[in-house]
Structure 1
Amino acid sequence: MTSGLLLIDKAQGWTSHDAVARTRRLAGTRKVGHAGTLDPMATGLLVLGINSSTRLLTYVVGLDKEYLATIRLGRSTTTDDAEGDELTRATPDQVNAITPAAVTAGIADLTGDISQQPSAVSAIKVDGKRAYARVRAGEDVQLPSRPVTVSEFELLSSTHRDGCLDLEVRVECASGTYIRALARDLGIALGVGGHLTELRRTRIGPFRIENAATLERVDVAAQLISPADAAILLLPRLDLSAEQAIDLGHGKRITIAGDTTHAGPVAALAPDGRLVGLVEYRGDQAKSLLNFPPDEAEPNESTPPS
């Protein structure tokens, strides 16, 4: 039975749910999940889990991410992106007055540990209902600001177009950061308004877009990252003896030598490279957190992303 992680390059217009539904048909299983949504407007990397490997998605969701984006300065919208209605429009003179130094300073102010108010049309739940659903129902939603980390905010190029200034940028950030909100806040800081016109996710933790395939061209069997390969990309590794692998598979605690000070899950591998399960250390012992079915965890010929 097939199990593993699959890297998909989502096309514009597709929802993350669309990508999961298509993969269910391609993989011949209902058990498919994803680690973090992408808006229909956005393109790029989705990490999908198939069968028992959906349990590994927990360790993907919170990883840092990289995006390429286009920020349009000179207009603001109701959704902080190109899909919303226009709210404000700066004059050409106001846009032309934006200096490179002002852009650089504005980007610097939005880099590092910052406080960010998520867009009202985000997927954050408010009293059990998604914020975007409340907005579409006509409610005025104001989400509280929260701390986020933008580790890199790099200006790649700038172009004057249609009375606006388009900035091509690269952003590396912690999970939970909204690139639309960065576009909005940069526009506010420069006094001309701003919104996002393009967004492409290029990395989630160790997984990169270069190793992903489009839904039209993906070969699930050939491109699936095995549970073992995925787990050791995400977690520390523990190599088991044959006897330890059997004991752990039966739910027994095992005694191990070496450094057991790591807090959190560790990927436990059998001598043949199969992922037996995830364990946590308790003194000089390892206790099973979850086991992987042997018939789903066989290593395949896939090469883990670099």
Structure 2
Amino acid sequence: MTAPTRVRVQRRPVHGVLLLDKPLGLSSNQALQKAKWLLRAEKAGHTGTLDPLASGILPLCFGAATKFSQLQLEADKTYETRVRLGVTTSTADAEGEVLRERPVACTVGQLVQVLDDFTGPIAQVPPMHSALKKDGKALYEYARDGETVERAARQVLIHDLELLGFELGGAEPFVDLRVRCSKGTYIRTLGEDIGEALGCGGHLTMLRRVETGNLHVAQAITLDQLEALDDAARLRMLHPVEILLHEHPRIVLPPDEAGRFLSGMRRRGDWPDAAAVAVFGEQPEALLGVAHVQQGELIADRLLSPPEIQQALLQFHEARAAVA
């Protein structure tokens, strides 16, 4: 019997940011590879992992956007989660083995006080079921082998801890929360620690990331929605690279100055000092890269290449023309 012919996907340069609403059950890399295949993109990367057991916004960077993906790693995040009270598990989520069950005897007043106590700077011990590495080995690998290793507590910042709903009685008591936090915060650990502070323990049964930086899940598209589109419509789902640079002050250079800047030359101007700015060419308007300003000098930090700039301009011009 003749084996079926495998169709080779013809890759191409694709530039921009896809705001993906990652489904449950897929790792961030699995979601990235599926989107990369659908877009036939040559180069892609994500902006930090989202657990298979979590859904929500996952910005995916393509082409030139991969140069700025680190900015989303540093961004604050917002999650919505449900903490099932009274049951502690080995993984601090619903996939783990039940370790202990306790009655839930806390009051609403105690719950509000505990949430207040966990708002602001707090120390967290990273969970064993995480990708954090110790001695070159991920913690979840130790956990898979039945080992528990010493982990140092880390400082994180909980900007806001909003109580969305709760049920302290009944067969399955729970607390629904919206958490706005700094990078590096483990929401499973936060839920487990809140349960312990209430004297009953707890674990997560739902986790959804709704914001990362200024990007909201309402702007995102699912893999199923992306797959249902034709090729041109898929490309139209990409946001320009500068969506990652919303906090950077903007500097626009005329054509002659833009060319010198792209060659790595420092430019002089009456710009105020700034640690990070987004630099654009004037005609045509296009992102050139990021830089910093020191004593009136514009100093390049990360530049797009001329081919990347031309390809991105052509891609977004064709996308707009297809809609018109």
The TM-score, its normalising length taken from structure 1, stands at 0.92
Alignment correspondent of 2:118: 110
Counterpart among 254, 257, 261 of residue 244 in structure 1: 257
Moved more, 135-144 or 63-72: 135-144
Alignment correspondent of 2:311: 296
Cα distance in structure 2, aligned partners of 1:250 and 1:147: 41
Between Structure 1 and Structure 2, the one with more helix by share is: 2
Query: Is contact 1:9–1:214 with CA below 8 Å preserved after alignment?
Result: yes
Alignment correspondent of 2:142: 134
Counterpart among 288, 292, 306 of residue 280 in structure 1: 292
After superposition, where does 1:52-201 map in structure 2 within 5 Å? 52-90=64-102, 94-95=103-104, 97-159=105-167, 163-201=171-209
Query: Is contact 1:8–1:45 with CA below 8 Å preserved after alignment?
Result: yes
Q: Does 1:268 align with 2:309?
A: no
Alignment correspondent of 1:220: 234
Cα distance in structure 1, aligned partners of 2:301 and 2:162: 40
For residue 309 of structure 2, give the secondary structure of its aligned residue in structure 1. coil
| Alpha-carbon distance change, 253 to 44 in structure 1, aligned in 2, over 3 angstroms | same
Query: Is contact 2:274–2:294 with CA below 8 Å preserved after alignment?
Result: no
Cα distance in structure 1, aligned partners of 2:94 and 2:113: 24
Report deviation, 1:276: 1.0
Counterpart among 15, 28, 33 of residue 21 in structure 1: 33
Q: Find runs of 4+ consecutive structure 1 residues off by over 3 angstroms.
A: none
Report deviation, 1:160: 5.1
Q: Does 1:43 align with 2:55?
A: yes
| Alpha-carbon distance change, 80 to 41 in structure 1, aligned in 2, over 3 angstroms | same
Query: Is contact 1:60–1:234 with CA below 8 Å preserved after alignment?
Result: no
Report deviation, 1:273: 2.1
Moved more, 235-244 or 50-59: 235-244
The TM-score, its normalising length taken from structure 2, stands at 0.87
Alignment correspondent of 2:7: none
Report deviation, 1:236: 2.0
Moved more, 137-146 or 58-67: 137-146
Question: What is the aligned-residue RMSD (CA, Å)?
Answer: 1.8
Identical counterparts, % of pairs:
33
Cα distance in structure 2, aligned partners of 1:246 and 1:118: 47
Query: Is contact 1:52–1:296 with CA below 8 Å preserved after alignment?
Result: no
| Alpha-carbon distance change, 11 to 162 in structure 1, aligned in 2, over 3 angstroms | farther
Give the letter aligned to residue 167 of structure 2: T
Cα distance in structure 2, aligned partners of 1:161 and 1:179: 23
For residue 20 of structure 2, give the secondary structure of its aligned residue in structure 1. strand
Report deviation, 1:129: 1.0
For residue 24 of structure 1, give the secondary structure of its aligned residue in structure 2. helix
Moved more, 276-285 or 70-79: 276-285
